Amino acid sequence: MLPDETMLPDDTARLRAAAAFVREHDSTTLLPLLLPGIDGPDLRTLAERCRFAHAGTLLFPPDAQSLRAQLDACGLAADTPSHPSVVVRDRLARRHRRDPAELDVRILRPQVPGAAGERRAVEVFALTVPPHSALEPIAAYERTRRHEAHLAFEIERPDPLVLRGLCATLARHGARPDGGGYNPHENGTVLYFTTPADSSCGYRRLELYAHGDHRGALADHLGHQAERQPAETLLHLLTGAWTTQALASFARLRLPDAMDTRTACRTEDLARLTGTHPRGLDTLLRYLVMLGAVAHDAGPGPQEGFRLTALGALLRTDEPASMRPLALMYGGPFYRSFGGLDHAVRTGLPAFDHLFGENHFDHFARDPELADLFDRSMAASARMFRPLPAHPAVTAAARASAPATVVDVAGGNGELLGQVLTAHPGLRGILLERPHAVEAARRLLDSAGCGARCAYRAGDFADVPSGGDVYLLSRVLHDWDDDRCREILRHCARAMPAHADLLIVERLLPADGSPSLATAWDLHMLCNVGGRERTAAHYARLLADAGLDLRGHAPLPLDAHVLHARKAPPRP
């Protein structure tokens, strides 16, 4: 039997275990493990019609060379050809609400002979996840949940009647439809099932593969799935608030700071270190295992315990890219305001103002600790800034013969400006912000070694400094309605010389309605500040009203974009 893949240390170990499993089993031995109680004519029919073809596993190599090295380490052909996996790509996109175009999922089938030389394979789905990329949370989640791990049976001599009969037989023995699709790259139809809860096999998903286009049978299969799954899907959605609070509690209790990504810690020891109740802590940690923030090592004796995953480590206080402030914010003030979402939807006014008696910015400004938390939560998304210093407008300013100036309007604690000045030692900076934020930015930029090249101005949008070469507006416009945005943009336009560039960092609502983080943030802005996310075309109209031209936009990490604008040429 295959050990639980979630307990295996890395992708290479999972791949090696899958190859060993394929060598050891055949249809006759596997089917009773997957479908307890099947015997007699049904077992003979399935075994005769369905040839055990492969075990499937999803891997997350940082690049193609690493994937080849993993294959070679497991005794599999490193030069196995690959092609796009439409089915798994679309499943991942739906599960994680991502644009399918972001997910380059490849499929490879390195050959693994059976015990008697039968033709079999390991089906490898490979989603390239570069280190520190926005895809890392997907990898952490999928390694824990193993949604794509499955055993596949290829149907001999498929036809519509045979397909429907086999699906009915599986259903009688407790298998449930779980998606599928047609892959035009290889002209094959895939039908997925989940196996019964009392299955004694390490795999919980079963695939029927039929060569050719069988989309009629596929439609029937997916129709059954739709009938059975809405209640389960809705239940998962309704418990989303539990996820927010579990992660926020994890951060508030500083549990990630007491844990390690390499060595497991027993619940009792961790409870003693953190002043928590052992049973309560164990319950929280097991829920966090499902979320991919924690891994459970079930080794004997002292090896048993919990350890951090790469995802959970993002909630450590000392993590350079720590997202702990975001967890505290989303599990704190913003979580409370979402309890009044119905007020925002009924009135169009922020629920935050309704619950707290004042707007978001005034409330935070009156509480220094809360203001600091908000500024740090904004900085926690700083990874979206990483490509910005290489933007052509910034690099052109850095190459100018005279020292150029970058003006960061409402620049928070200076995280973005610091990245730009650090990347280009010849640039100077000016940061415009509220007084308390100016002091925080001064400390950060001094510690980054670029404070001597930066000036500070405490003020409002009406105080945008003139004469700069590049102006930055990062996650500012989405806080405001259209009238206020036009006003802010006019202040920028008045301050900008004719040659200056304006770079706006925002999430863009997709014009085609495809899944995007911007859609979620649009609801967040409605509920908390009364602002909104917008499409690129919407921003173009606002810029035009302020005398600015949108020259283009480019993607950034975390579903953000940078919009590039300049002053519109004078009309003749």
> DSSP secondary structure string, 13-32?
HHHHHHHHHHHH--HHHHHH
Element (H, E) at 549: strand 548-555
Angle at 293 between CA 101 and CA 522, to 5 degrees: 50
518 CB contacts (<8 Å, ≥6 apart)?
507, 508, 509, 510, 533, 559
Find, among 461, 430, 466, 473, the residue nearest to 564 by Cα: 473
The pairing of beta strand 150-155 with beta strand 548-555: unpaired
Number of H helices, E strands in the chain: 26, 17
- Cα dihedral 182, 185, 187, 189, rounded to 10, equals -30
Residue 181 CA to residue 229 CA, distance in Å, equals 17
Beta bridge partners of 50: 155
Residue 39 CA to residue 60 CA, distance in Å, equals 38
Element (H, E) at 565: strand 560-567
Residue 76 CA to residue 54 CA, distance in Å, equals 14
Residue of 221, 343, 478, 553 marked active site: 478
Local structure of residue 383 (DSSP, 8 states) = G
The 3-class SS string of 306-354 reads EEECHHHHCCCCCCCCCCHHHHHHHCCHHHHHHCCHHHHHHHCCCHHHH
Residue 257 CA to residue 316 CA, distance in Å, equals 5
The 3-class SS string of 81-115 reads CEEECHHHHHHHHHHHCCCHHHCCEEEECCECCCC
Find, among 98, 169, 180, the residue nearest to 139 by Cα: 98
Residue 116 CA to residue 235 CA, distance in Å, equals 46
Q: Quick check: 371 and 364 in contact, CB under 8 A?
A: yes
φ/ψ region of 97 (left if φ > 0, alpha if ψ in -120 to 50, else beta) reads left
Coil, strand or helix at 193:
strand
Instruction: Please indicate whether residue 478 is annotated as part of the active site.
Output: yes
Local structure of residue 462 (DSSP, 8 states) = G
Find, among 337, 412, 335, 422, the residue nearest to 377 by Cα: 412
Give catalytic residues, as residue numbers: 478
